[in-house]
Amino acid sequence: MSNRTDVYEEKMNKSIKSLENELNTIRAGRANPHVLDKILVDCYGAPTPINQIGNITVPEARLLQISPWDSSLLKEIEKAINMSDIGINPSNDGKVIRLVFPELTEERRKLLGKDVKKKGEDAKVAVRNIRRDGIDAFKKLEKSHEITEDELKSLEDKMQKLTDKSISSIDKLVENKTKDIMAI
Protein backbone atom coordinates (compact mmCIF):
# COMPACT_ATOMS: atom_id res chain seq x y z
CA MET A 1 0.00 0.00 0.00
CA SER A 2 2.81 2.44 0.86
CA ASN A 3 4.19 2.18 -2.67
CA ARG A 4 0.99 3.86 -3.91
CA THR A 5 2.31 7.14 -2.44
CA ASP A 6 5.87 6.70 -3.72
CA VAL A 7 5.14 8.26 -7.11
CA TYR A 8 3.65 11.34 -5.44
CA GLU A 9 6.54 11.60 -3.00
CA GLU A 10 8.94 11.51 -5.96
CA LYS A 11 6.98 14.28 -7.71
CA MET A 12 7.07 16.42 -4.53
CA ASN A 13 10.82 15.85 -4.22
CA LYS A 14 11.26 16.95 -7.86
CA SER A 15 9.34 20.17 -7.09
CA ILE A 16 11.66 20.83 -4.14
CA LYS A 17 14.77 20.07 -6.22
CA SER A 18 13.52 22.37 -8.98
CA LEU A 19 13.04 25.19 -6.45
CA GLU A 20 16.51 24.54 -5.04
CA ASN A 21 18.04 24.81 -8.53
CA GLU A 22 16.11 28.01 -9.23
CA LEU A 23 17.18 29.58 -5.95
CA ASN A 24 20.82 28.71 -6.67
CA THR A 25 20.71 30.88 -9.79
CA ILE A 26 19.56 33.94 -7.82
CA ARG A 27 22.49 36.19 -7.08
CA ALA A 28 23.10 37.02 -3.42
CA GLY A 29 25.84 39.36 -2.24
CA ARG A 30 28.72 36.96 -2.71
CA ALA A 31 30.00 35.17 -5.78
CA ASN A 32 28.17 31.93 -6.56
CA PRO A 33 29.07 29.93 -9.70
CA HIS A 34 25.42 28.78 -9.99
CA VAL A 35 24.37 32.24 -11.25
CA LEU A 36 25.96 31.15 -14.55
CA ASP A 37 23.96 27.89 -14.79
CA LYS A 38 21.28 29.26 -17.12
CA ILE A 39 23.71 31.10 -19.42
CA LEU A 40 24.44 29.33 -22.69
CA VAL A 41 27.45 30.22 -24.84
CA ASP A 42 27.60 29.73 -28.60
CA CYS A 43 30.36 27.12 -28.64
CA TYR A 44 31.19 26.10 -32.23
CA GLY A 45 27.55 26.64 -33.19
CA ALA A 46 26.02 24.77 -30.25
CA PRO A 47 24.52 26.49 -27.17
CA THR A 48 26.64 25.16 -24.28
CA PRO A 49 26.59 25.88 -20.51
CA ILE A 50 29.63 27.88 -19.33
CA ASN A 51 30.68 25.17 -16.87
CA GLN A 52 31.15 22.77 -19.81
CA ILE A 53 33.58 24.99 -21.71
CA GLY A 54 35.77 26.23 -18.90
CA ASN A 55 36.72 26.18 -15.27
CA ILE A 56 34.78 28.44 -12.89
CA THR A 57 36.52 29.41 -9.65
CA VAL A 58 35.78 31.73 -6.72
CA PRO A 59 39.18 33.24 -5.80
CA GLU A 60 37.55 35.86 -3.53
CA ALA A 61 34.14 36.28 -1.86
CA ARG A 62 32.89 38.71 -4.53
CA LEU A 63 34.77 37.41 -7.55
CA LEU A 64 34.09 34.65 -10.07
CA GLN A 65 36.78 33.69 -12.53
CA ILE A 66 36.06 31.78 -15.74
CA SER A 67 39.01 30.09 -17.45
CA PRO A 68 37.84 28.62 -20.78
CA TRP A 69 39.70 25.57 -22.06
CA ASP A 70 39.79 27.25 -25.48
CA SER A 71 40.72 30.94 -25.23
CA SER A 72 39.06 31.63 -28.59
CA LEU A 73 35.72 31.33 -26.72
CA LEU A 74 36.45 34.30 -24.41
CA LYS A 75 34.53 36.74 -26.60
CA GLU A 76 31.54 34.38 -26.89
CA ILE A 77 31.44 33.85 -23.10
CA GLU A 78 31.67 37.60 -22.52
CA LYS A 79 28.86 38.20 -25.04
CA ALA A 80 26.60 35.57 -23.42
CA ILE A 81 27.14 37.06 -19.94
CA ASN A 82 26.41 40.58 -21.21
CA MET A 83 23.18 39.36 -22.85
CA SER A 84 22.06 37.54 -19.66
CA ASP A 85 20.09 39.08 -16.81
CA ILE A 86 22.68 38.63 -14.03
CA GLY A 87 23.57 42.30 -14.15
CA ILE A 88 27.35 41.98 -13.93
CA ASN A 89 29.78 43.26 -16.54
CA PRO A 90 32.56 40.78 -17.29
CA SER A 91 36.17 41.88 -17.63
CA ASN A 92 38.31 39.93 -20.08
CA ASP A 93 42.11 40.02 -19.83
CA GLY A 94 42.71 37.69 -22.80
CA LYS A 95 43.15 34.59 -20.60
CA VAL A 96 40.26 34.63 -18.12
CA ILE A 97 36.99 36.44 -17.55
CA ARG A 98 36.38 37.99 -14.15
CA LEU A 99 32.98 38.83 -12.73
CA VAL A 100 33.06 41.20 -9.77
CA PHE A 101 29.89 41.01 -7.70
CA PRO A 102 28.93 44.43 -6.39
CA GLU A 103 27.25 44.92 -3.01
CA LEU A 104 23.50 44.56 -3.40
CA THR A 105 21.49 47.69 -2.62
CA GLU A 106 18.79 47.44 0.04
CA GLU A 107 16.14 47.90 -2.65
CA ARG A 108 17.64 45.11 -4.79
CA ARG A 109 17.80 42.81 -1.74
CA LYS A 110 14.11 43.39 -1.03
CA LEU A 111 13.18 42.69 -4.66
CA LEU A 112 15.22 39.48 -4.65
CA GLY A 113 13.61 38.50 -1.33
CA LYS A 114 10.14 38.93 -2.86
CA ASP A 115 11.20 36.88 -5.87
CA VAL A 116 12.46 34.08 -3.60
CA LYS A 117 9.18 34.07 -1.64
CA LYS A 118 7.16 33.92 -4.89
CA LYS A 119 9.21 30.98 -6.15
CA GLY A 120 8.62 29.28 -2.78
CA GLU A 121 4.86 29.87 -3.03
CA ASP A 122 4.85 28.46 -6.57
CA ALA A 123 6.63 25.33 -5.32
CA LYS A 124 4.09 24.95 -2.49
CA VAL A 125 1.23 25.21 -4.99
CA ALA A 126 2.88 22.48 -7.08
CA VAL A 127 3.20 20.23 -3.99
CA ARG A 128 -0.44 20.83 -3.01
CA ASN A 129 -1.55 20.00 -6.56
CA ILE A 130 0.38 16.74 -6.36
CA ARG A 131 -1.35 15.95 -3.04
CA ARG A 132 -4.75 16.70 -4.58
CA ASP A 133 -4.00 14.47 -7.61
CA GLY A 134 -2.91 11.66 -5.29
CA ILE A 135 -5.98 11.87 -3.07
CA ASP A 136 -8.26 12.00 -6.14
CA ALA A 137 -6.56 8.87 -7.51
CA PHE A 138 -6.98 7.09 -4.15
CA LYS A 139 -10.67 8.02 -3.97
CA LYS A 140 -11.18 6.51 -7.43
CA LEU A 141 -9.51 3.30 -6.23
CA GLU A 142 -11.85 3.20 -3.23
CA LYS A 143 -14.90 3.86 -5.43
CA SER A 144 -13.93 0.98 -7.70
CA HIS A 145 -13.43 -1.20 -4.57
CA GLU A 146 -9.69 -1.73 -5.22
CA ILE A 147 -8.95 -0.44 -1.72
CA THR A 148 -11.02 -0.25 1.46
CA GLU A 149 -12.24 2.88 3.19
CA ASP A 150 -9.62 2.35 5.91
CA GLU A 151 -6.86 2.06 3.31
CA LEU A 152 -8.13 5.27 1.70
CA LYS A 153 -7.96 7.06 5.06
CA SER A 154 -4.45 5.72 5.63
CA LEU A 155 -3.30 6.84 2.18
CA GLU A 156 -4.84 10.30 2.67
CA ASP A 157 -2.98 10.62 6.01
CA LYS A 158 0.26 9.56 4.39
CA MET A 159 -0.22 12.09 1.56
CA GLN A 160 -0.84 14.85 4.12
CA LYS A 161 2.36 13.91 5.99
CA LEU A 162 4.35 13.96 2.71
CA THR A 163 2.83 17.34 1.87
CA ASP A 164 3.64 18.79 5.30
CA LYS A 165 7.21 17.51 5.05
CA SER A 166 7.62 18.98 1.55
CA ILE A 167 6.14 22.37 2.55
CA SER A 168 8.50 22.44 5.54
CA SER A 169 11.49 21.77 3.23
CA ILE A 170 10.35 24.56 0.90
CA ASP A 171 9.98 26.99 3.82
CA LYS A 172 13.49 26.14 4.99
CA LEU A 173 14.97 26.68 1.48
CA VAL A 174 13.18 30.04 1.14
CA GLU A 175 14.23 31.12 4.63
CA ASN A 176 17.90 30.22 4.03
CA LYS A 177 18.02 31.96 0.64
CA THR A 178 16.32 35.07 2.07
CA LYS A 179 18.88 35.18 4.91
CA ASP A 180 21.64 34.79 2.31
CA ILE A 181 20.28 37.72 0.28
CA MET A 182 19.70 39.98 3.28
CA ALA A 183 23.14 39.30 4.78
CA ILE A 184 25.37 42.32 4.28
**Span 17-58, pLDDT tens digits:** 999 988 887 766 667 788 788 888 888 888 888 888 889 888
Backbone angles phi, psi at 59, to 5 degrees: -70, -25
Predicted pLDDT of residue 153: 95
Q: What is the CA radius of gyration of the chain?
A: 22
Domain 3-24+105-182 sits in CATH at 1.10.132.20
Which amino acid is located at 93 in the chain?
Answer: D
CB of 103 closer than 8 Å to CB of 91: no
Q: Does domain 33-100 have CATH number 3.30.1360.40?
A: yes
Query: Domain residues of the chain, as ranges?
Result: 3-24+105-182, 33-100
Helix axes 106-143, 3-24, angle to 10 degrees: 170
DSSP letter at 25 equals T
46-49 and 40-43 as β-strands: parallel, antiparallel, unpaired? antiparallel
Instruction: List, in sequence order, every residue forming a beta bridge with 60; answer none if it has no partner.
Output: 63
What is d(CA 34, CA 41) in angstroms, rounded to the nearest whole number?
Answer: 15
Please check whether residue 99 is in contact with residue 176, taking contact to mean a CB–CB distance below 8 angstroms: no
SS3 content of the chain, % helix, strand, coil (to 5): 60, 15, 25
Q: Tell me the average pLDDT across 157-161.
A: 95
Task: Output the CA torsion sign for 28, 32, 37, 38.
Answer: positive
Q: Which pLDDT band, with edges at 50, 70 and 90, does 121 fall under? A: very high
d(C-alpha 131, C-alpha 163), whole Å = 7
Look at residue 27 in the predicted model and tell me its pLDDT: 66
For residues 4-32, b (16+ Cβ closer than 10 Å) or e, as one string?
bbeebbebbeebbeebeebbeebbbbebb
